[in-house]
Structure formats: C-alpha cells, structure tokens
Structure 1
Amino acid sequence: MKNKAIAILDANWRNGYSVPSKNLYPYQWLWDSGFIAIGFAHYDMDKAEKEIETLLDAQWENGFIPHIVFHQLSDSYFPGPNFHRADLHPLSNKKYPSTGMTQPPVTGFTIEKIYQISKDKKASLNFIKRTIDKVFKNHEYFYNNRDPRNEGLVYIYHNWESGTDNSPLWDSIFETMNPPVYTFERRDTSHVNPEERPTQREYDHYLHIIDIAKSHNYDDAKIAEHSPFLVQDPLFNAMLIKSNHALINMYELIGGNESKIEQLKSWNAKSIASFNSKLYNKELKAYVHYDLRNERPIKLVSSSSFSPLYAGIPTKEQAAELIETMQSKFGGDSMYLLASFDPTSEKFNPKKYWRGPVWINLNWILYYGLQDYGYKDLAQQIKFDSIEILDKVGFYEYFDARKSEYKADSKGYGGSDFSWSAALYLDLINN
C-alpha cells in the first residue's frame, strides 16, 4: 500500500504542483496542496516544498490565496477561470488565473509539519524562511478583511470555501435563496456516479453566489454586505488558529519577528475566546457553524464540529463533552469513524459527498487533535479505521462509514487515485 500511495502522488504531480485526481480535478487546490505536501515530505522533500511554493506564487497582492489555481486549460472541470473571473479584483494575481474564493488555511501548519518530518532541518528551515511571511500575510488578509465585527472569527462567503461543499449544514441557508436556473454542462458527473455528487439545483446556488461576488469585483466589504451566504465556520477558523500556532513556533525558531509573534498571539487569544463563547453549543455538546447573514447558529453536528481539537481550542471539559458526542452519535460497532455528518440525523447520506461519507483529511485532523488532548485510544481507532478502509478499497476521495457496505469488490466514492488520501496514509503509517 505504501508503494501504491507513492505511485499515486507521483502520477498526480504536474511539474510544480499536484492535481487531486487526474480527470475529476485537473487543477491545483489550496487545502489539497497542504495535505499532499505532507505526504511528499516523507519521501520527496523537493516536491513537498515546490507544492507549497507554487501555491504561494499564486497569492494575490492583498495576501489572499485562491482555492483553485488554473495552471492550464482543461475541459474536464466546470466552473473554470472564464466563469470565476478572479481578474475582476484589482489585486488579483496577474500570473495565474484562479477562483475568487479560498479554502481552509492549512498552509501554516503544513510548513511546520514539513519541518518536523524533515531529516535535513537546516535546509527545511531555509524553506520556512522563504515561505513564512507569505503565510503570515494570508492570515493578515483574513483578520483585516473577513472579520467585519472584529470578533477574531473570520467569515466564508461560499460553501466551497468551507471545504465541506454540499454538507447539510448549508441547507437552511439555501432555503433562503431562490437563484436562477443556470444552463451549463456538468463535468464531474461524467467521471463519477451522479448519486455521489451535489445536485444540479445545488449548483445553481453555488454559481449564483459566485455571480454576486463577481458583481462586486470580489470586494470583501461588499460581499459581507450582500452575499446571501456568510458563515463563521468552526473548521475554517480552527485551521486558521492551528496555523497561527504553527507560525508562532516557526518564527520563534527563526528568531526575531517579535511583532509578528505578538500579533499572532493576539489574534489567537481573541479568536479562541470568541470561538468558545459563540460557536460552542452546550446543548449539542459540539461546535456549530454560525449563519452571520441570518444571525443564527446552525444547530447541526458534523465532522467539522470536532476539528477545534486539532487547534487546542476546547477546554478539557469541552473536549470531554465533544468525545461523548462523537462516540454517541458517530460511533458504534457498525460504523467506521468518522462520518462527515451526524449519522443519527435524517439528513445523513452515507454515499453523497459531504453529507455523510468518511474523509481521510478530516480523520487525519481528528487523529492528531485527539492525541493532543490525551484521547490516545480514540485517536488510534480513527487511525486504524482510516487505514482499514484504504486497505479494503484503495485511495478514493471519500468512503462509506457503514462497515456492512464493504464487500470483496467494494470501491470508494468520488475520484479514484486521490492525492490527499494517499498522502495522509503515508503520514499515518509513519506515526
């Protein structure tokens, strides 16, 4: 399996960056690149560093990093650069066409993880020195442009920015919208089973939000004022806080940079306080999303609800409650950990993208988070469940959480030969 994982990563490498899956996702994705670089670090440090450097080369002048970088034209993915029109923003990157939205900011903890894995610390420290200020500038962008109330919690304006694209979390927001019906040709459903993907009507909502952002030239203040989708997401904010921690550690290693270290500590202090007062739901014993546009918490539990463990956000008491919720709703002998959405909910769909399947990247996040809080046995269970699923069906994009669904000829869902599944497998077996 290790050799297979390496072969997939090498096959998906495109001379400076990786594609997540050859036909389904033919470009460079932000958070994919972070996880992929961690996998590369275990056997090819040059590719690990290049993956991140290429991503950061697509950064905008204001620090923004887009969620897709369109390195070449491809007719196998919609919507492409001609729909997104990121060039409408005056500070967009002139070298690379991209989207005008971002993804969970994993780059900070990625570069720290690369350094931790590295056998040549001196060379890897030089890599950190080349990249860290760009990552800091990305974090500065978020707090300056995506936190209109100065709470330390940044907003996302599109479900694609969450990384959890079609989660039931967004259903109540889409119910407040009535977008036009778009005429376009889906490309994803020609590569994978349409039953595993978002519906055509869901795509109407997705495209409509992009059109609203385009109509304001991707201006963050205007988006905050006009976008029907405006959410404080615990997964997104936890990744930002974790990456802040990582930048503090790396700046302390480099030496100097006291003002940046103080700024990062200040951001985290405010963020964690707001996180626990606003996003922790005592009734559900879990972190929830907050719908900033409609001023209401989204009282649903998903794998994102537990991601703050990875960033050291919960108190010990909150962590214990999170574990209780995880085991009561997501556990049991018949289920692999961890479904992406609450299996006890009527909205749970074990085959459909982010509406229920297991995702290796969220499992990886939770594995490390549970370890940090001392829940070693549960961390090991998530690790072993992840490895067992991959051993049974291979390196797919996402997987059924129901153990009963795994037969001799079973396959995973979504894209095959999926890069981050292969990359994070390499990291898990090395720990």
Structure 2
Amino acid sequence: MFDIKKVPFSRNGSYMVISPLHGKDEQHLYLRNIRNGDNDLGEVFRIEVLADGQVVQYAPVLSPNFLRLETDRGFADFVISEAKVLQIRSVGVGVRLTGITGAYDYAVPVNNDRFEVNHSKQEIRYMMTPIKGQLLMDAPFQEQRCLKIVADFLPETQSSEMECAIEEFFTVWNEREYLQFSNVLESVRNEFQTWLDHSLECDVKLTNGRELAAYITWSCIVQPEGKLTRPAMYMSKNWMTNIWSWDHCFNALALAKKQPELAWDQFMIFFEHQDESGMLPDFLNNRFALWNFTKPPIHGWTLKQLMENRDIVTKGKLQEVYEPLCKWTEWWFKYRDDDHDGIPQYNHGNDSGWDNSTIFHQGTPIESPDLSSFLILQMETLSEIAEELGEKEESREWAKKSNDLLDRMIRHFWINERFAAVKSGDHSIIESESLVLYIPIILGKRLPDSIRKKLVEGIISNDFLTPFGLATEKPTSAYFREDGYWRGPIWAPTTLLVYKGLADSGETELAQVVAHRFCNMANQSGMAENFHALTGESLRDPAFTWTSSVFLILANTLNSY
C-alpha cells in the first residue's frame, strides 16, 4: 500500500491522475489531466464521497491497481482500466465529482443518461456514463458556460452498487461498452505484476522500496501523443509533469536489462526533437519543448552502458544515434565556448542540471570540469561507434579529440591539488564546496592515479558521504542548506554518477558503501526528488522516477555482491 498524499494514483500510458493538489489543496483528492506541462496542476474534478446526500469523510487506500476510498458507510473503488478510461464502483455510498471550471466549460446531456463535459480550461472532453445506479448532474448554463458542474453518481438503493465510467476524448466520442469491474481490477493487477517481474531484482530487505520504485516508474509512463513520439516516462505525476534531457538517461538505464526496447525509447526521444544546431531542449511534454535551457551531455556516458546489451543496441540503432550524438557534442564546442579556449562553458546552472550549485553563485558563464568530463566520455563513445560503423578516420578523430580534451581539462581545472570551476574568459577561480567538482571521477582510470586518489580522498575527508549518501554541498560549507536543492540535499543522479566513477576507478568497497546508504535511505524515506543529507528525510516531489530508477540500479548491484 502506498500513501496517496505522496504517490499519485495513475497507470502506465495514462494522462489521468488522482492526487491531492500539492501546495494548493492537500485535503481533497482531484482527478487531474497532466497534459500540457507543469504550468498548472491540471485539476479537472474534486472527488468526494456521499452518503444519504451528504459529503462524508473517507480514508484513501492506494494499491498499484486501484484506489479505495473507505468510509464507515461503505467504500468507492477507482481503477484506470485503460489509458483514457476511469471506472468507479461503490457500495453503500455515492461519488461526487465537482468540476474545477473556467470561462467556457459546460456539461450537456447525451442519450438521456450520459453527460458530456467539455473542459475547455484543460482542453479535453469527458464522457460520463452511469453503468449501475444513476447520474444526477447539477450544471446550470448561463451565457457561455455552466456556472458549476457537479456530477453525483449514486446507487439506486443504500445497499446496492454504483458503477460508472469517466472517459477522456478530444473530438468525437464513440459509444462503447465498458469491461466488468472485477475483470478490470484483475487485468490491471496482472499488468503491474508483469512490470514488477521485469524490474531489476534486489535484496529482500529492499522489497518495499523495489515495489514502490516499480509502481512509480510504471505509472509515470504516458502514451505517445503530440510532441511525444514514443512512450515517455515522466519525472513525476505530482507536479514535475515533463521529461528533462538528462533525467531520461537514468530511466533508460534502469530499463535496459529487462525492457531494452522501452529503454531505447527513453534514450532516443529527445534526439527526435533535436534542433538543427545540435542542441537538445531542456524538457519535453506532449505539447511543447522548452529551449531556454538544456542539460549536460551525459548521453555518451549513458549510451556506453546501454551498448552492453548488443542484442538490442544493434548496428542499426548505432547508425540511428550516431549523427545526432555527433551534432550534440559539436554544439557545446561551437556555441558554448565564448573565449575559444577549447573548454566549453555553462551559461546557466539549469544547463548543468545542478541549477543553483555554488559554482554558479558568482554568475556565469563558467567552465566546470564535470562538463568536460562528460564530453570526454561522449567523444570516446563516438569513436567506438564510428569504428563499428566502418568510419575509421572519424573514429580516430573522435579518439584524438577525447584525449586532447582530457589533457586540456587537467591543465585547466586541476588547481592546488583539486578540481575547480572558473569564470569563462579571465579564468578566475570560483570558491565552491560542491560535489559537482568531484564528478570527474566518472573518468575512472583515464585520470592519473594521483588525481584519482585525491578525488576519492576528497569525497571522504570533506564529509560529502553522510550516513545517508552523498551531499551535493559539503555540509560544513557556508552555503550548505538543508533543503537547498543542489546546495546540500542528496540526489539520485549524482549518486549514480559518483558510484559508477568509483567502481570504474577500482574503488569497489567505497562504491558499495555509497550504494548501500542511498538504497537504505530511499527504502525508508521513499523515492523523493531529493533528500535531507543529514537526516535522510524526503524533500520536494515525493514520487520521482529518476530516484526510483537509480534505486533499482543500485539495489540490483548490491544484490549481486
């Protein structure tokens, strides 16, 4: 059972969600439409339970396949039977749906028993169909809209059942029959169980975390629609209702072993929206892509790991991704190197993924060693792909560029026995105690032994490694904040990056410590967006997919030891 105050109720493929309105109304549950991005919460109907015509209190019980609202008079069960269909069954009580309406929203009767609700505000229509019992609609029309839209689904008698269906559609609705409720429950239960069976295994002590992570990743997938050309795993169905252009990589990695085709969909979806310049958008949803920012080029690092499954990452798929990955790499050198020193820069913290890291507290543009590290690995991966595709000369060129950037990065950023970020142009050192300066550990044994050892020592001696995992800002830093986003809290992606770097550096024991602490924390606190570095408490969005994916990856590595 999951806590619906943290984990929204939805299902694989659906844009329909039931949850509270976080930060707005956390006392009630709402049916939401999460299309069109995260500019609003997409609330469509407030959900209430009725007994004898009166609203009564209920206790929500959330399972992977259905949501039950329990009262002392009876209960109401909700199941999303298909991506666009919500079915409800109640015993002893009724269900009220109150529209959260705007300027042009209205309800109109259809065939005497149904009602069509045109929710102009959310740009979608709903067909409301009573299957057992009755539908009473209170929707007085005035000028251009209904003053209110209140739909009461009621049983015929106090002891009888009520069943109904709420179906999304855009243009025309075609009459149909709905599946028997008990069959729907079993079907969705089996579907989730299949997903769980195809999720990465872990130690039995982490079973609760595994089931939660599996539910979040399963339920956060939306079907292709509009801009989304492939099934896409949103970051959350709470309020982070987009996919971002590095988050998708971590979700792809968690799917690679058991669901490789879906993993490839996650990895490739951004390249299908790549700008002619080579830039990737910051985020995508069904309606638009945002181009004000981008995210760091971790795609070569990701692809190298996906390539371990060559049954799926075939020569054809390498051909598919090679040119887009070349353009993405070249974009950083063409358009993000204003001082032409061969070291690409970040123009904003958002472009790094570490939005408010202390490496940005003196302004931008800045040159940071993590960016060069990602590009070194990306060009190395391009060299390997070019070799396999028979492009020998291109392979040699990419290998040379990778090696040259490695040498240049060390000369540029290794200052006083540590890596530092510098201002682009005058190369003045930025004082920072951010974990981002240790991300070059991902280069593993490509780094000189002395540098690699200093990075490992710094991670330990600077107290980044707390009892719960890796803080993103040194806890004794003047800039450390308990809920400071990238100035302290533990994050899943940085944990996986450092974990992989440590493992590739031969620091197996320390890598396992990092994985163990993170997994224990997430198993206890849930799959939150980030975590309090000193207590392990969940912070921000409490049901996040890249946290779930990283948990599954790391828990699976622990299971193998």
Q: If the length of structure 2 is used for normalisation, what is the TM-score? A: 0.58
Q: Which residue of 2 aligns with 1:55?
A: 270
List aligned pairs for 1:13-162, cutoff 5 A: 13-15=221-223, 16-72=231-287, 96-116=288-308, 118=309, 121=311, 124-162=314-352
- 371, 381, 392: which one aligns with 1:236: 371
Aligned to 1:143, the other structure's residue is in SS state helix
The equivalent of 1:421 in structure 2 is 547
Number of the residue aligned with 2:395: 261
Q: CA deviation at 1:321?
A: 1.3
Alignment size in residue pairs = 341
Task: Pick closer, same or farther for the CA change 1:57–1:331 going to 2, 3 Å.
Answer: closer
Task: Check whether the contact 1:17–1:50 (CA below 8 A) recurs between aligned residues.
Answer: yes
Give, in angstroms, the shift of residue 307 of structure 1: 0.9
In structure 2, the residue matched to 1:350 is: 482
Distance 1:385 1:122, change over 3 A: closer
Output the amino acid matched with 2:473: F
Letter in 2 for 1:421: T
SS of residue matched to 2:469:
coil
Name the one with the larger helix percent. Answer: 1
- Corresponding residue for residue 506 of structure 2: 374
Amino acid at match of 1:419: T
* CA 1:110–1:140: 2 relative to 1, 3 Å: same
Say if 2:440 is the partner of 1:308.
yes
Deviation at 1:6, TM superposition (A): 2.1
Residue 164 of structure 1: CA displacement? 0.7
Distance 1:123 1:302 in 2: 35
* Structure 2: segments with no counterpart, 5+ residues: 1-208, 224-230
Note closer, same or farther for the CA distance 1:152–1:430 as it changes in structure 2 (3 Å cut): farther
Report how far residue 331 of structure 1 moved: 5.2
- Displacement of 1:357: 0.8
Structure 2 counterpart SS, 1:290: strand
Alpha-carbon distance in 2 for matches of 1:286, 1:301: 11
Residue 267 of structure 1 aligns to which amino acid in structure 2? K
For 1:352-405, what per-residue CA distance to the aligned partner results, in whole angstroms no more than 9, with x for missing partners? 211101111111111111112111111111111111111111111111221xx2
Distance 1:150 1:270, change over 3 A: farther
Amino acid of the structure 1 residue aligned with 2:355: D
Q: 1:161 to 1:35 in 2, by over 3 A?
A: same
Task: Decide which structure has the larger Cα Rg and report it.
Answer: 2
Give the whole-Å Cα distance in 2 for the aligned partners of 1:4 and 1:132.
Answer: 35
Instruction: Give the superposition deviation at 1:262.
Output: 2.2
2:495 maps to which of 363, 366, 386:
363
What SS does the corresponding residue of 2:422 show, helix, strand or coil? strand
Cα pair 2:339 2:424 within 8 Å, conserved: no
Structure 2 counterpart of 1:12: 220
CA distance in 2, matches of 1:40, 1:291: 38
Q: Does the Cα contact within 8 Å between 1:162 and 1:233 map onto a contact in 2?
A: no
Report which structure shows greater RCO (CA 8 Å, sep ≥6).
1
Q: Distance in 2 between matches of 1:331 and 1:354?
A: 13
Distance 1:140 1:172 in 2: 27
Query: Structure 1 regions of 5+ residues with no counterpart?
Result: 73-95, 174-228
Q: How far is 1:339 from its partner?
A: 0.6
Deviation for aligned residue 1:56: 0.6
Counterpart of 1:319?
452
Is 1:169–2:359 an aligned residue pair? yes
State how far apart, in whole Å, the 2-side matches of 1:412 and 1:64 are: 33
Task: Give me the whole-angstrom Cα distance separating, in 2, the residues matched to 1:148 and 1:362.
Answer: 27
> Could you tell me which amino acid in structure 2 is paired with residue 309 of structure 1?
I
More off after superposition, 346-355 vs 232-241: 232-241
- Partner of 2:410: helix, strand, or coil? helix
How far 1:34 sits from its partner (Å)?
Answer: 0.9
Q: What is the CA-CA distance between 1:123 and the residue it aligns to?
A: 5.4
Q: Report what 1:224 is aligned to.
A: none
Residues in 1 aligned to 2:529 and 2:255: alpha-carbon distance in whole angstroms: 18
Please report the RMSD computed on the Cα atoms of aligned residues, expressed in angstroms. 2.0
Paired with 1:145 and 1:167, the residues of 2 have a C-alpha distance of 22
Residue 148 of structure 1 deviates from its aligned partner by 3.6
**Residue 464 of structure 2 contacts residue 474 of structure 2 at CA under 8 Å; is this kept in 1?**
no
Partner of 1:82: none
Deviations along 1:62-93, one digit per CA (max 9) or x if unpaired, are 11112212432xxxxxxxxxxxxxxxxxxxxx
Distance in 2, matches of 1:311 and 1:103, equals: 19
Identity value in percent: 22
Query: Aligned equivalents of 2:553 and 2:357: distance in 1?
Result: 27
